[in-house]
């Protein structure tokens, strides 16, 4: 089986178990979104899938091979991760940043092939950053900056892309713009996308496969319309909510109860 899998995966932070004995598959060429309450371990799980965190026990498989058995550079050609809130060094330009994505494909005597040049340009075009390529990353808006980092991960040319809360710090317009972009990337270029999102409604809209992490396990996994229910939201987020179909997309829409102004 292709894609990412875990077998009896246990992750600890210090002595504190975060994920315990997890068996879990991520389908290829789909958008998978991890959701869960704060501190549920969804980011930790994502980081371990990208070998940024070593499992305490258990295994992770990529294309049926154990992650530990493949050289880290080989993994870098199969899987890229955009960590949460990356910081660019002072003064680096968009082009220089995106170029770094070619690192796993280069050698010390082969640093700027035709292919590198074309793929970097392709990544800049896809993220609509070509006109801004000589700008400094610090000088960009939040949305543009996030796109520059995504362009770097695109230049890495990996079939699997992991993103840790890519919409953090972005306003609503830029959140939608970014998720639309990732959606196109999946639908047009068949990239497998795995990301952590906070907003359950956006997750329902974009995810082919929604994964809810709760109590150190995958509580439930499936298409959002199958799994998102009032009971599920209560269990995972401990929140009373009403689930309706989104009037525009038909995907589940979670309306939290609680207090607020009432006009009806």
Partner 1 sequence: MKYWTFRMLKEKVSFQITKGWMQVFSIGLLLLIAFFILSLSSGSNWISPTQVFMQLSNMTDEHAFVIETLRLPRTLLAVLVGSALGISGLILQSIVRNPLASPDIIGITSGASFGAVLFISVGTGVVSMSLLPFAAISGGLITATFIYLISWNKGVTPIRLVLIGIGISAILKAGVTFLLVFSDTYVVSKAYIWLTGSLYAATWNDVTSLFWWIMIPLPILIILGRSMNVTELGDDVAISMGIKLQWQRLVFLGCAVILAASSAAYVGGIEFVGLMAPHLARRLVGKSFLGLIPITGIIGALLVVIADLIARTMFLPLDIPAGVFTAAIGAPFFIYLLYRNRNR
Q: Which of 15, 16, 64, 114 binds partner 1 (CB under 8 A)?
A: 114
Q: What is the DSSP code (8-state) at residue 141?
A: -
**Window of 36-44, 89-97, 121-129, 240-248 that interacts with partner 1 by CB under 8 A:** 89-97
CA distances from 155 to 114, 131, 255 (A): 13, 17, 38
109 scored as a contact of partner 1 (CB under 8 A): yes
Distance CA 11, CA 18 (A): 6
The yes or no reply on residue 89 touching partner 1 (CB under 8 A) is yes
Query: Does residue 169 touch partner 1 according to CB under 8 A?
Result: no
Residue 71 CB neighbour total at 10 angstroms: 8
Q: Are strands 57-62 and 65-66 parallel, antiparallel or unpaired?
A: antiparallel
Q: How far apart are CA 83 and CA 64, in angstroms?
A: 24
**Could you tell me which stretch among 16-24, 47-55, 184-192, 222-230 binds partner 1 (CB under 8 A)?**
47-55
Q: Does 113 bind partner 1 (CB under 8 A)?
A: yes
User: Which lies closer to partner 1 via its Cβ, residue 95 or residue 214?
Assistant: 95
Residues 112 and 137 sit within 8 Å (Cβ to Cβ): no
Instruction: Say if residue 85 is exposed, middle or buried (CB neighbours under 10 Å; 0-12, 13-18, 19+).
Output: exposed
For residue 233, the surrounding DSSP H or E stretch is helix 230-237
CB of 83 to partner 1, least distance (A): 4
Minimum CB distance to partner 1, residue 250 (Å):
36
Among 9, 34, 49, 88, binds partner 1 (CB under 8 A): 88
- 148 contributes a contact to partner 1 by CB under 8 A: no
Q: Kindly list the residues in this chain that would bind partner 1 in the complex (CB under 8 A).
A: 47, 50-52, 71-77, 79-81, 83, 86-89, 91-93, 96-97, 100-101, 103-104, 106, 108-114, 116-117, 134, 156
């Amino acid at each position: 089986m292709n894609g990412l899998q875990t077998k009896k995966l246990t992750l600890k932070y210090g002595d504190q178990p975060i994920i315990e004995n997890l068996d879990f598959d991520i389908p290829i060429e789909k958008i998978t979104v991890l959701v869960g309450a704060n501190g549920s371990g969804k980011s930790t799980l994502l980081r371990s899938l990208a070998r940024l965190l070593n499992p305490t026990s258990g295994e992770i498989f990529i294309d049926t091979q154990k992650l530990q058995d493949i050289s880290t550079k080989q993994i870098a050609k199969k899987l890229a991760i955009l960590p949460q809130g990356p910081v660019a060094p002072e003064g680096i330009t968009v082009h220089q940043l995106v170029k770094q994505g070619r690192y796993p494909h280069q050698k010390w005597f082969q640093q700027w092939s035709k292919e590198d040049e074309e793929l970097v340009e392709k990544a800049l075009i896809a993220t609509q950053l070509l006109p801004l390529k000589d700008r400094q990353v610090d000088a960009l808006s939040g949305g543009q900056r996030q796109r520059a980092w995504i362009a770097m991960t695109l230049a890495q040319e990996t079939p699997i892309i992991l993103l840790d809360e890519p919409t953090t710090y972005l306003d609503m317009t830029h959140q939608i713009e970014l998720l639309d972009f990732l959606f196109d990337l999946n639908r047009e270029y068949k990239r497998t996308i795995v990301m952590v999102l906070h907003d359950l409604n956006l997750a329902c809209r974009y995810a082919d496969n929604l994964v809810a992490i709760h109590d150190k396990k995958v509580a439930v996994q499936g298409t959002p319309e199958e799994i998102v229910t009032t009971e599920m939201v209560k269990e995972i987020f401990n929140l009373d909510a009403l689930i309706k179909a989104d009037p525009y997309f038909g995907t589940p829409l979670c309306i939290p109860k609680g207090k607020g102004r009432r006009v009806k």
